Amino acid sequence: MLYNMRLSISEARARLTELAQLVMDSPGTKVIIEHRNREERIVLVAESHIRALEVMVEKLRESNAATPFKLAGSISSELTDQEMEAALAELRAAAASQADRRIAGLDSGPA
């Protein structure tokens, strides 16, 4: 059962044993811990969940490295080769940044 919850840091501290048991017994469960003086939150998850995410990220990186995108006559454009390469580099950087945010963002919104 996937179960996600949000708690203040004070409540999480008081219930740490219970929360630890919850995430260890239910892989994929997230406990989001908020601190009133911090914008960034922390997330309590099982180590196996983090390892699975890391493996998934590595496989995606290997897959992307093995099959890089190449534009070879499949489209016509008014851009020079240099302008096209710069535009593609910008798109790749934006896509990589978005992927990194998704990977880092274990919080999918309100529980």
Domains annotated on the chain, with CATH: 4-104 (3.40.1620.10)
pLDDT band at 89 (very low <50, low <70, confident <90, very high): very high
pLDDT band at 33 (very low <50, low <70, confident <90, very high): very high
pLDDT band at 70 (very low <50, low <70, confident <90, very high): low
Residue 24, pLDDT > 60, answer yes
Cβ proximity of 93 and 76 under 8 Å: no
Which pTM was predicted?
A: 0.53
Judged on CB neighbours under 10 Å (0-12, 13-18, 19+), 32 is: buried
Could you give the CA distance from residue 80 to residue 86 in angstroms, rounded to a whole number?
A: 10
Residue 87, pLDDT > 60, answer yes
Mean pLDDT of 50-70: 82
